Structure 1
Amino acid sequence: MLASKTVVALAVSLPALLVLLLIVLVGADPSSSCATTVSGSGLQGATGASIDGLSEGQLQLARNGVAIGKQRGESDSVILAELAAQAAESTLRNLANPSVPDSLRYSNDGLGHDGDSVGPHQLRVSVWGSVGIDTLMNPIYQINWFYDHADKIPDRDRMAPADLAQAVEAAKVNAYAGQLNLAQQLYAQFANIAPASMPAAQAGQPATGCGTNGSGAPLPAGASAFGAAVIAAAEKWIGTPYVWGGGDQTGPTGGGFDCSGLTLYAIYQASGGRLRLAHFTQSQQDDPAAQVVPFGQRQPGDLIFFTSPGESSSHHVVIYYGRNDQGQDLVLHAPETGQTVTIAPLWKGDRLDVRRFSTPANPETEEGKRL
């Protein structure tokens, strides 16, 4: 949560205890179920919405803030408070945190650095971590957490949304009023969601967002923080149509992605906008920021380029996803016309070249590749 909160001062005054708590509370196996009882289950799939400055991932989190609020029967003002809180705490992103290394093992929308806070509501692991990191990294759980705590506040429906957000988040300074215009815009975008059309949450069943895909899902073992961010950026578009020439640094264009459009998007997002690749496979393969990696040393998040026998330029690029339970290599990619972004087994026959990217220390050192 916001650094001004009272609990922050307490936590940082006990560093040894904090480290011990982190070890005990977040030692969950990311391959475990992440089943948790929630009152609202949320929605999956593309939003079909567009708001200037917001990515599809941010819109999905906002939509679930509205959908879960409606499913639970919350008032409009309480839902606005939840949206304003997400916007202020995380800019509507499911954030991992390098101070909580286990959080990097879950699909996320980027990295936060506020103490040991994670997720869209920036819940502190040292305070709320008894549920396990697999649950804390589940954005559906965090949205329900907000509503659970809001429901305990008397007269919540008569409070100003910013004041309610401040009361739930326990911030000394009310930082939520400045997000109300955005919260109202987001609420208007998704206000027509009908609770009856949403799947009912079942006790003990994985909440939306848990499982093999989706924000908060376990990432393949062996991924670096950057590689994990590449996968997290790309996999939220699983099911999006292949469109030749589709995709740029902001998301799909023309209704979808082609192979290099998906990879340039993922690398741009993972680097915080500091690596902008060309929309052409061979140019990406030859990019000065690309590290040549032997095939035997591939790691999740690396790009693999395919070159046909006798050809000098690659014709396809995929994101290496890791291995399944049978040891089979998997890739995440936009295959071809008529198909959608998917995870599939790695195939052989072409020459395979592996390239690894990382966030540059100095964004000015790669001319033409940085904004």
Structure 2
Amino acid sequence: MLVVLIGADTSSSCAAALSGTGVQGAPGASIDGLSEAQLQLARNGVAIGIQRGEPEQVILAELVAQATESTLRNLANPAVPESLRYSNDGIGHDGDSVGPHQLRVSVWGSVGIATLMNPIYQINWFYDRADMITGRDRMSPADLAQAVEVAAVNAYAGQLTLARGLYAQFAHLAPGSMPAAQAGQPASGCGTNGSGAPLSAGAGGFGAAIIAAAQKWIGTPYVWGGGDQNGPTGGGFDCSGLTLYALYQASGGRIRLAHYTQAQQDDPAAQVILFEQRQPGDLIFFTSPGQSSSHHVVIYYGRNENGQDLVLHAPQSGQSVIVAPLWAGDRLDVRRFSLPAEPASAEGKQL
């Protein structure tokens, strides 16, 4: 459950709206448990609603829908491989649903995956649908969210406390602080902040999905033997527990790795890659001099602005999952996994 802690904030501009928020103990308002990316999606839910002149109850409905459908995340989906080519906040597995409102590609995909992966489009989609519902202003936020999303179960009331806190945080946004909407274009709120943008050619779609699955656990403690395909066990992950989780989640359950570094390195699906051909999402295995079995595995994260190689991994006891510079000293072996061709079968909500 997400706990909401709201402080006073009278910011009126998009630029200042996130100032002092988050979970790092910064002064000012905070919403415990939400990342900056989640706050940005919530801010746009409020900002676009204000820009469109929507009443408070309708904006609350949009917020509870986002929180329930995706936990305020712009989700890609391995069942829709094209979605993995766009920046996202994580991986979902609900049928062929993508984005913060979990729109089904088979139903709403005529606009193209690039549009569906744009959270600004999905927020406007919700308001467009809400505006078509007779008597919407007399409906509770949860019932309006249900009327728009048409989920199998109306679970939206459970996020109303969070939605009210988010609305209070961002309700002071002034429409004049937002980019002006172009003729015929939807309201843009405070902008996308990069979410939903095409990934660079250097970051393959499946590699990006592997990184997205693992990086949401940054800060989780290292626990020897910890982690399985569903998440942390015993309170955390070890190195191979994190990688088996990331590949299982990114592949929609189609890649199941052993919980042992050398077994992962030797997996029949692993492609041997020269170190100089490494790409984000590749696994790098560390073998000590004179040894025949690897003792550690990391996910290659890419390079920083200084050209330094970065890796995402669960380091050792007393530390937590982290992105850190790649180090030397051991033999490094690179392996690449590809998304299996067969789509995973799953059932999603009916829209």
Name the SS of the counterpart of 1:360 in structure 2.
coil
- The partner residue of 2:85 within 104, 121, 124 is 104
- Map of 2:152 onto structure 1: 178
- State whether residues 92 and 98 of structure 2, in contact with CA within 8 Å, keep that contact through their aligned partners in structure 1: no
- State whether residues 61 and 144 of structure 2, in contact with CA within 8 Å, keep that contact through their aligned partners in structure 1: no
- Map of 1:145 onto structure 2: 124
| Map 1:261-300 → 2, pairs under 5 A | 261-300=241-280
1:209–1:179 distance in 2 versus 1, CA, 3 Å: farther
1:317–1:219 distance in 2 versus 1, CA, 3 Å: farther
State yes or no: 1:321 paired with 2:295: no
**CA–CA distance in 1 between the matches of 2:83 and 2:201?**
11
- State whether residues 66 and 187 of structure 1, in contact with CA within 8 Å, keep that contact through their aligned partners in structure 2: no
1:278–1:146 distance in 2 versus 1, CA, 3 Å: same
Alpha-carbon displacement from aligned partner over 1:55-86 (angstroms, at most 9, x marks no partner): x99xx969966996699797567645654577
**CA–CA distance in 2 between the matches of 1:251 and 1:94?**
17
Name the SS of the counterpart of 1:343 in structure 2.
strand
- Map of 2:284 onto structure 1: 304
Name the SS of the counterpart of 1:292 in structure 2.
strand
State yes or no: 1:354 paired with 2:334: yes
- State whether residues 66 and 79 of structure 1, in contact with CA within 8 Å, keep that contact through their aligned partners in structure 2: no
- The residue identity in structure 2 corresponding to 1:266 is A
- The residue identity in structure 2 corresponding to 1:179 is V
How many aligned residue pairs are there?
A: 303
**CA–CA distance in 2 between the matches of 1:332 and 1:236?**
11
- State whether residues 329 and 345 of structure 1, in contact with CA within 8 Å, keep that contact through their aligned partners in structure 2: yes
- State whether residues 43 and 170 of structure 2, in contact with CA within 8 Å, keep that contact through their aligned partners in structure 1: no
Q: Percent identity?
A: 51
| Map 1:121-160 → 2, pairs under 5 A | 121=101, 122=103, 137=117, 139=119, 141=120, 144-145=123-124, 149=128, 155-159=135-139
Query: Structure 2: 5+ residue runs without aligned partners?
Result: 1-12, 25-30, 180-187, 345-351
Name the SS of the counterpart of 1:179 in structure 2.
coil
1:278 positional shift: 2.0
**CA–CA distance in 2 between the matches of 1:243 and 1:225?**
29
- Map of 1:343 onto structure 2: 323
**CA–CA distance in 2 between the matches of 1:186 and 1:104?**
30
1:138–1:150 distance in 2 versus 1, CA, 3 Å: same
- State whether residues 78 and 250 of structure 2, in contact with CA within 8 Å, keep that contact through their aligned partners in structure 1: no
1:268 positional shift: 0.5
- The residue identity in structure 1 corresponding to 2:233 is T
1:177 positional shift: 4.8
1:312–1:74 distance in 2 versus 1, CA, 3 Å: farther
Name the SS of the counterpart of 2:315 in structure 1.
coil
- State whether residues 285 and 298 of structure 2, in contact with CA within 8 Å, keep that contact through their aligned partners in structure 1: yes
- The partner residue of 1:330 within 288, 297, 310 is 310
State yes or no: 1:224 paired with 2:204: yes
Alpha-carbon displacement from aligned partner over 1:62-117 (angstroms, at most 9, x marks no partner): 99669966997975676456545776799976236998958614134258996xx9
- The residue identity in structure 1 corresponding to 2:322 is T
**CA–CA distance in 1 between the matches of 2:130 and 2:15?**
14
TM-score (norm 2): 0.63
- The partner residue of 1:95 within 61, 76, 85 is 76
Q: CA RMSD in A?
A: 5.1
Alpha-carbon displacement from aligned partner over 1:119-168 (angstroms, at most 9, x marks no partner): 22339687599xxx5x97464x4675367547856753313657744776
1:62–1:326 distance in 2 versus 1, CA, 3 Å: closer
Query: Structure 1: 5+ residue runs without aligned partners?
Result: 1-35, 50-55, 169-174, 365-371
TM-score (norm 1): 0.60
- State whether residues 63 and 163 of structure 2, in contact with CA within 8 Å, keep that contact through their aligned partners in structure 1: no
